[in-house]
Structure 1
Amino acid sequence: MSKQQLLGIHHVTAMTSDVVKNYEFFTEILGMRLVKKTVNQDDIYTYHTFYADDQGSPGTDMTFFDFPNNPPGIKGTNAITRTSFRVPTDEALTYWVARFEEFNVKHEGISELFGKKVLKFEDEDQQRYQLISDETNQGVKAGIPWKKGPVPLDYAIYGLGPIEITLAYFERFKEIMTSVYGFKMIEEVNDMILLEIGEGGNGAQMILRHDATSPIARQGYGEVHHVAFRVADQEALYSWLDKYQRLGIPNSGHVDRFYFEALYARIGHILIELSTDGPGFMGDEPYETLGESLSLPPFLENRRAYIESEIRPFNTKREE
């Protein structure tokens, strides 16, 4: 396997209007585990929360920034427009329809997309998601459902599915995804194409939608900030850094996020991160209490007292 082989989706980062409401939605309704409560390393006055599977496995986490006074985003083209979550079966989607009805979650009912059953829904910020069934899926392995979550394990979310990106410059972006990042086109339906990398399947796919008529989307809460794809390790990440420099693609250079290492590049309007699978989220907290305390990377630890005095209290301790 090439050092530059992307392994699948690593995480998706979006923006929320209220970190507490967002926490309640993801843990109490979606049944995903908060595996890390920390701050944005580039803006320490902002929470950065990570929701994932039972152990914070790469390819399972949806993360959020809670920027103070952030305006709402504006839907449109040239943006990441929908995040998918994997569930084990078609039957699980029927369970989720009933659960969404119980909790008054706006949804569109079960439909089909590229041969898979999906259930599109939104949160209170109008952030767009969908559940996708793994019933006929083959490819990247899913994670482990949160064992102490509120959703039965047979129906629980256990990984990220295809990321949807909507673009006016559809052909140019597709060409970069295939020639630079190694995606392969799997299927085309109307104004959409399905691409995948690595082992393929729901955990390694991207849906590109062509939309040259809508206004350009504007960042804000309810919108996705960036998508990250998995690379194996630091050696692979540096191989990508060399590739970016060789191709003249502007980038962030190597960034150590403590929980993983990262490399950022903006392709048109879309911010793409490459992230290592490790070290992961369990090195600084016990498994039993992941996400219950404010976690800080070592370079911020000496500022803990100041950071805790500046960000609003946010209780994430779970009762047994």
Structure 2
Amino acid sequence: MELLGLHHVSLITGKAEKNYQFLTKVLGMRLVKKTVNQDNTRSYHLFYGDANGSPGTEVTFFDIPMAGRTYPGVSSISSISLRVKNTDSLLYWKERFTQLNVSHEDVKKRAGRDTLAFQDEEGTRMVLVADNEEEGVAPGEAWEQSEVPKEHGIIGLGPVTLTVANAEPTARVLTELLGFREEGSYPSITGEHPDIRVFATGKGGAGAEVHVETRPDLPKERPGRGSVHHVAFRVPTMEDYDQWAKRLQESGLRHSGKVERYYFKALYFRELNDILFELSTDEPGFDVDEPIESLGERLALPPFLEPRRQEIEENLRPLVLDD
């Protein structure tokens, strides 16, 4: 029973319209599902991914217009990353970010890979990671119906970075409960803090890694707009999902039990540094209720919410996603 890698990451936005513009027009990703937060149907939940909405490529945002600013700190998913084909693509993106006034750093090495860190207007910390033909979890397929050339397009999720006061409890959950393996470390960007530890699952590579940064000097994060709500890992089959539910029950950790999200089945729990993890099935996928060619074009509701469509639509604020 092995997790395949990253499934999705979910974040908070205070302005879905600007978020849509940045993810689709600046980053060239595809809106693959426009739906609602199933735990609060007055809020939109937007999913962006590759051309096919593949597991392992999705960045999702809960629209919370009143969300305050984020105060960074520990017990947090402090950055996410997105894969591109190679270092030449990073050079394309550096020029693009300069032209579009997107805050970004220079190309730097992280965990032996060429990377380019940047932020959106809400301060979301993201990193582009160059695959450079590295072996590991296969990439997705870049969305070609954008102004970003397909050869430089985003092809999936890369490593997430967890920032904690003490890495050992998180390391135990990753290795002893979830079956990750520790594969090394690399210096922090400033060089003033402990090395960042690298954990991998499945076939490894950028799409299957969690990086753990130790920062005992920081307070606990106060999340708001631009913060990462949770990270989800890929469960290949429904049979494995049942086994993971049993393992979580036996672990003694607080967990959600089985949760039906329709597009995937989920299990939620907080690891020992209070970061929210999710285990999500690859099946059935985002094309279960919409054809691939028209993903994200309408408000999609799972069958258990469909009878409430009129009520839900009346209680949602207008959302104008201009092309």
Once the two structures are TM-superposed, the CA of residue 136 in structure 1 deviates from its matched residue by 4.3
Query: Residue 213 of structure 2 aligns with which residue?
Result: 209
Distance in 2 between residues matched to 1:284 and 1:28, nearest whole Å? 25
Deviations 1:112-145 (A, max 9, x none): 1111000000001101000000004210000011
Deviations 1:98-122 (A, max 9, x none): 1101111000111111110000000
**After alignment, is 300-309 or 20-29 more displaced?**
300-309
Percent sequence identity over aligned pairs = 44
Query: Residue 196 of structure 1 aligns with which residue?
Result: 200
Report the count of equivalent residues: 315
Structure 1 unaligned blocks of 5 or more: none
Secondary structure of the residue that 2:150 maps to in structure 1?
Answer: coil
Distance in 1 between residues matched to 2:162 and 2:147, nearest whole Å? 31
Secondary structure of the residue that 2:152 maps to in structure 1?
Answer: coil
Once the two structures are TM-superposed, the CA of residue 316 in structure 1 deviates from its matched residue by 4.0
**After alignment, is 220-229 or 307-316 more displaced?**
307-316
Deviations 1:50-84 (A, max 9, x none): 00000100000000001231212211111000000
Once the two structures are TM-superposed, the CA of residue 287 in structure 1 deviates from its matched residue by 2.1
Q: Is residue 2:269 matched to residue 1:265?
A: yes
Please tell me the root mean square deviation across aligned C-alpha atoms, in Å. Answer: 1.1
Distance in 2 between residues matched to 1:315 and 1:279, nearest whole Å? 29
Q: Any conservation in 2 of the 1:75–1:217 contact (CA below 8 Å)?
A: yes
Q: Any conservation in 2 of the 1:292–1:315 contact (CA below 8 Å)?
A: no
Seen in structure 2, the aligned counterparts of structure 1 residues 317 and 236 have a Cα distance that, compared at 3 Å, is: farther
Q: Is residue 2:220 matched to residue 1:253?
A: no
Query: Residue 244 of structure 2 aligns with which residue?
Result: 240
Distance in 2 between residues matched to 1:65 and 1:128, nearest whole Å? 16
Distance in 1 between residues matched to 2:133 and 2:175, nearest whole Å? 25
Query: Residue 117 of structure 1 aligns with which residue?
Result: 114
Once the two structures are TM-superposed, the CA of residue 278 in structure 1 deviates from its matched residue by 1.2
In the superposition, the TM-score normalised over structure 2's length comes to 0.95
Distance in 2 between residues matched to 1:52 and 1:118, nearest whole Å? 20
Distance in 2 between residues matched to 1:21 and 1:161, nearest whole Å? 23
Q: Any conservation in 1 of the 2:17–2:321 contact (CA below 8 Å)?
A: no
Distance in 1 between residues matched to 2:257 and 2:147, nearest whole Å? 40
Q: Is residue 2:78 matched to residue 1:75?
A: no
Tell me which stretches of 4 or more aligned residues in structure 1 moved more than 3 Å: 315-318
Secondary structure of the residue that 1:302 maps to in structure 2?
Answer: helix
Counterparts in 2 of 1:1-320, with a 5 A limit?
Answer: 2=1, 5-190=2-187, 191=194, 192-267=196-271, 268-316=273-321
Secondary structure of the residue that 1:303 maps to in structure 2?
Answer: helix
Secondary structure of the residue that 1:282 maps to in structure 2?
Answer: helix
**After alignment, is 242-251 or 25-34 more displaced?**
242-251
Q: Any conservation in 2 of the 1:53–1:144 contact (CA below 8 Å)?
A: yes
In the superposition, the TM-score normalised over structure 1's length comes to 0.96
Q: Any conservation in 2 of the 1:116–1:136 contact (CA below 8 Å)?
A: no
Structure 2 residue identity aligned to 1:306:
E
**After alignment, is 307-316 or 288-297 more displaced?**
307-316
Once the two structures are TM-superposed, the CA of residue 317 in structure 1 deviates from its matched residue by 7.3
Distance in 1 between residues matched to 2:150 and 2:93, nearest whole Å? 13
Structure 2 unaligned blocks of 5 or more: 188-193
Q: Any conservation in 2 of the 1:161–1:204 contact (CA below 8 Å)?
A: yes
Distance in 2 between residues matched to 1:21 and 1:269, nearest whole Å? 30
Distance in 2 between residues matched to 1:235 and 1:68, nearest whole Å? 39
Deviations 1:272-314 (A, max 9, x none): 0000001111121122221111000111111111111111222
Distance in 2 between residues matched to 1:278 and 1:244, nearest whole Å? 20
Structure 1 residue identity aligned to 2:138:
K
Once the two structures are TM-superposed, the CA of residue 169 in structure 1 deviates from its matched residue by 2.0
Once the two structures are TM-superposed, the CA of residue 209 in structure 1 deviates from its matched residue by 0.3
Once the two structures are TM-superposed, the CA of residue 149 in structure 1 deviates from its matched residue by 1.8
Secondary structure of the residue that 1:298 maps to in structure 2?
Answer: coil
Distance in 2 between residues matched to 1:62 and 1:189, nearest whole Å? 25
Distance in 2 between residues matched to 1:316 and 1:61, nearest whole Å? 19
Q: Any conservation in 2 of the 1:49–1:64 contact (CA below 8 Å)?
A: yes
Distance in 2 between residues matched to 1:149 and 1:282, nearest whole Å? 20
